[in-house]
Structure 1
Amino acid sequence: MTASDRVLVVGASASGLTTAEALRRKRFAGRITVLGDEPHAPYDRPPLSKQILAGDWAPDRAVLRAQDVLSALDAEFVLGDRAVALDAASRTVRTESGQELQADTIVIATGVRARTLPGHEDLAGVHVLRTLDHALALRKDLLSCRRLVVVGEGVLGSEIAATARKLGLDVTLAGPLAAPMAMQVGPLVSGVLAELHREEGVRLRLGNGVVGLASEDGQVTGVELSTGETLPAELVVVAIGASPATEWLADSGLTIDNGVVCDARCRAAEGIYAVGDVARWHHERLGRLIRLENRTNATEQAMTVAATILGQDQPYTPVPYFWTDQFDAKLQVHGFLPTDAEVDIVEGDLAARRFVARYRVGGAVTGVLGWNMPKQARMRRQEIVDAFQAPASIH
């Protein structure tokens, strides 16, 4: 590439910022523009459900880089203006304000949007948590209520329940699966997590679907279960997953299917790439398309794409990694944890809640999970790398 080349990054969160930083570290001297739909400077999302929501951090502590560091990037940040359309042929992005931004290379880093319960978007007392503004609005309401119901027993819902309980609220966690994070860690570890939540005072109403919300005079009053029961609530957080933010790409000509579909280099079309939560790319070692929603992937994928833009031909083949903190439990997950995997405890003690669990399918290691044993879990990551030599065994 030459100094006259232009790169437009659509999305100003971790993956978008990392793309710009990686380009500069690799001595790209061209023009970089970063377009973001939020007015805030790039910030980190994992603290939103924990430190920010708990009030342990001031909001500015979640900012990824100080202003002087951002200025040193020599990149133009266009914030508070949402992308609404892409012309892939001319590589032009149109924004909500009417701007048209054209570049030689476009990197799509628009992430995901929180799912909602249809028909209840305008009901007072109902929240989702994806952005900094979401977290601040939710915290404000948490401080003025007593009874919270969290709908969704995944990672985010479990974290919100733990944070709210630590703030002293009466918290109920509701969802269709049998235990917190059952889909993410399987029945053995999710069962231990359920025990922890119960001991800390979280009411678990799991194993039944949520069919709607009860309300009075425009204010939520409860969560209606498929059993016919209504869980009373002054406040409800809906944490039922997220959808890739791809609506603006509907007429772009790109392949959209649970994200922006890309090749093994995260390339969606000539001169157009996708990174982070929105990208669904071909993982060569697994032999299939995957999409990951975690902080580590956001940065690692962005660095690979920056290298590809600058001429390095390397497929993106990560071993996934994510973590979660709930009460005194710190879980680190490497690889894939299929719900039907064979699980054995290879270090520590399950009863003591300090252990490493190994997940295997067909005899091949697909993942490891450390519960308050981060170093030991990380050391076993190589077993997953070795298993990549037999990709059919990784689910």
Structure 2
Amino acid sequence: MVDADQTFVIVGGGLAGAKAAETLRAEGFSGRVILICDERDHPYERPPLSKGYLLGKEERDSVFVHEPAWYAQNDVELHLGQTVDRIDRTAKTVRFGDDGTLVHYDKLLLATGAEPRRLDIPGTDLAGVHHLRRLAHAERLKGVLGALGRDNGHIVIAGAGWIGLEVAAAARTYGAEVTVIGTRPTPLHSVLGPELGNVFGELHREHGVRFSFGTRLTEIVGQDGMVLAVRTDDGEEHPAHAVLAAIGAAPRTGLAEASGLEIADRAYGGGIVVDERLRTSDPDIHAAGDVASFPFALFGTRIRVDHWANALNSGPAAARAMLGKEVTYDRVPYFFTDQYDLGMEYSGWAPPGSYDEVVIRGDAGKREFIAFWVKEGRVLAGMNVNVWDVTEPIQNLIRSAAPVDLEALADPHVPLESLVA
């Protein structure tokens, strides 16, 4: 039986929002739970969109967070295909964008996620220009990659980040020709730096991917509304039957900004500013998932994490905080990827310029190793490649914030657990 005395509203029907709703019920909240999703699909997880589902290894239904019946069974009022265009913080209401319906809230969670950044060049209106963020995008791209593979077609991917490389791997698996264009000197440069980016570059080259680094797209060329080629700022023209814009994602902060909530500087990834309890500058409004910018004392900075594990964990943490429970959200950032026969997990935060050196444990040439980004002897981040069951000790090393013996760190015969202070 729902107690209508309290209403908690969640805006955003991704993983963070769905897990927050689940946690409210699991923690015994008996008030109204209203979950508003601007997509018509039930809440789903995003990693399969560029991995298993895109490759045809996972069924469409496998991506959903809950069975469709779960929401009614747990008295979660799910509004699909609905947008919220206004928050009135004084009246404590949200307004539906389609019909102006007002919904009162006692607590509000913003889990509005992120959206793909767009190419600002001529030709983006042509058929064959794609983004990958939503299930509908993945469904369309899956069909395109299959057709390109059958017809020996060519896809150009703008961006050499995680999404760009995962789609490149999928495209080659289908048999399509692939060119990746990146502005940095190596793949994944902003995350892995120059030391490790080439591990992924060589992997893709071995599978037939062509790279053009230090360049950017200037135009997508078409005929009769269809993509024919792309041009880059170095004067080159690359053949293309499809183009994927994989140049990052921007947090969807418009609703929060319009309501006067504090927004982080873009230098810190943007996003809605929250404290360690995931509260925004309004104590009755929380934020979680890709849109939240949270403080990380261990790194002495504010971070916005646009990855699955953050949505999985911050949604429930925000729900508990909304219920008045003691919460300190300080999860070590974590993400993973699968490309061809390479599996990788990364924990921590070590952008270029933040570390002194990279320590390798294992054989990077064989792609069976762990890399550690180190500053003044302290481990800031660790990446295990085709080495498993080491995430916990890597994260413990990061959390300890204590100097370690770098020779021992590089020695595969020294247990990682023994290095934690």
TM-score, normalised by the number of residues in structure 1? 0.94
* 8 Å Cα contact 1:5/1:30 also seen in 2: yes
1:100 is matched with which residue? 102
What SS does structure 1 have at the residue aligned with 2:389? helix
* 8 Å Cα contact 1:356/1:376 also seen in 2: no
1:112 is matched with which residue? 114
Give the Cα–Cα distance (whole angstroms) in 1 for the partners of residues 298 and 366 of structure 2.
36
1:122 is matched with which residue? 125
Q: Does 1:260 align with 2:272?
A: yes
**How big is each residue's C-alpha offset from its partner over 1:338-359, in whole Å with a ceiling of 9 and x where there is no partner?**
324311112x211111111111
Of 185-194 and 244-253, deviating more is: 244-253
Superposed displacement of residue 219, structure 1? 1.8
Q: Does 1:371 align with 2:385?
A: yes
Identity between Structure 1 and Structure 2 (%) = 36
What SS does structure 2 have at the residue aligned with 1:85? strand
**How big is each residue's C-alpha offset from its partner over 1:69-102, in whole Å with a ceiling of 9 and x where there is no partner?**
3333211000101122211222221122122222
2:182 is matched with which residue? 175
One-letter amino acid of the structure 1 residue matched with residue 395 of structure 2: R
**How big is each residue's C-alpha offset from its partner over 1:190-249, in whole Å with a ceiling of 9 and x where there is no partner?**
111111100011111122122232222322222221101111100000000011112233
1:393 is matched with which residue? none
Give the Cα–Cα distance (whole angstroms) in 2 for the partners of residues 135 and 60 of structure 1.
13
1:42 is matched with which residue? 43
One-letter amino acid of the structure 2 residue matched with residue 263 of structure 1: D
Give the Cα–Cα distance (whole angstroms) in 1 for the partners of residues 296 and 4 of structure 2.
32
- Unaligned runs of 5+ residues in structure 2 are 265-269, 404-421
* 8 Å Cα contact 1:356/1:377 also seen in 2: no
One-letter amino acid of the structure 2 residue matched with residue 240 of structure 1: I
2:208 is matched with which residue? 201
Within the candidate set 192, 204, 208, 1:185 is matched to 192
2:397 is matched with which residue? 383
One-letter amino acid of the structure 2 residue matched with residue 302 of structure 1: G
**How big is each residue's C-alpha offset from its partner over 1:283-305, in whole Å with a ceiling of 9 and x where there is no partner?**
34434321100111112111211
One-letter amino acid of the structure 2 residue matched with residue 368 of structure 1: G
Superposed displacement of residue 41, structure 1? 0.7
* 8 Å Cα contact 1:284/1:315 also seen in 2: no
Give the Cα–Cα distance (whole angstroms) in 1 for the partners of residues 392 and 163 of structure 2.
23
Change (3 A) 1:306 1:377: closer
Q: Does 1:75 align with 2:88?
A: no
What SS does structure 2 have at the residue aligned with 1:345? strand
Quote the RMSD (CA, aligned, Å): 1.7
2:358 is matched with which residue? 343
**Alignment: residue pair count:** 387
Superposed displacement of residue 3, structure 1? 6.4
Give the Cα–Cα distance (whole angstroms) in 2 for the partners of residues 377 and 20 of structure 1.
28
One-letter amino acid of the structure 1 residue matched with residue 272 of structure 2: V
One-letter amino acid of the structure 2 residue matched with residue 262 of structure 1: V
Instruction: Give 1:1-395 correspondences, 5 Å limit.
Output: 4-98=5-99, 99-118=101-120, 119-145=122-148, 146-257=153-264, 258-268=270-280, 269-340=282-353, 341=355, 342-346=357-361, 348-387=362-401
Give the Cα–Cα distance (whole angstroms) in 1 for the partners of residues 56 and 96 of structure 2.
34
- Unaligned runs of 5+ residues in structure 1 are 390-395
Superposed displacement of residue 121, structure 1? 4.1
Of 371-380 and 192-201, deviating more is: 371-380
What SS does structure 2 have at the residue aligned with 1:282? strand
* 8 Å Cα contact 1:223/1:230 also seen in 2: yes
* 8 Å Cα contact 1:149/1:171 also seen in 2: yes
* 8 Å Cα contact 1:264/1:284 also seen in 2: no
**How big is each residue's C-alpha offset from its partner over 1:324-346, in whole Å with a ceiling of 9 and x where there is no partner?**
11111111001113324311112
What SS does structure 1 have at the residue aligned with 2:336? strand
Superposed displacement of residue 388, structure 1? 8.0
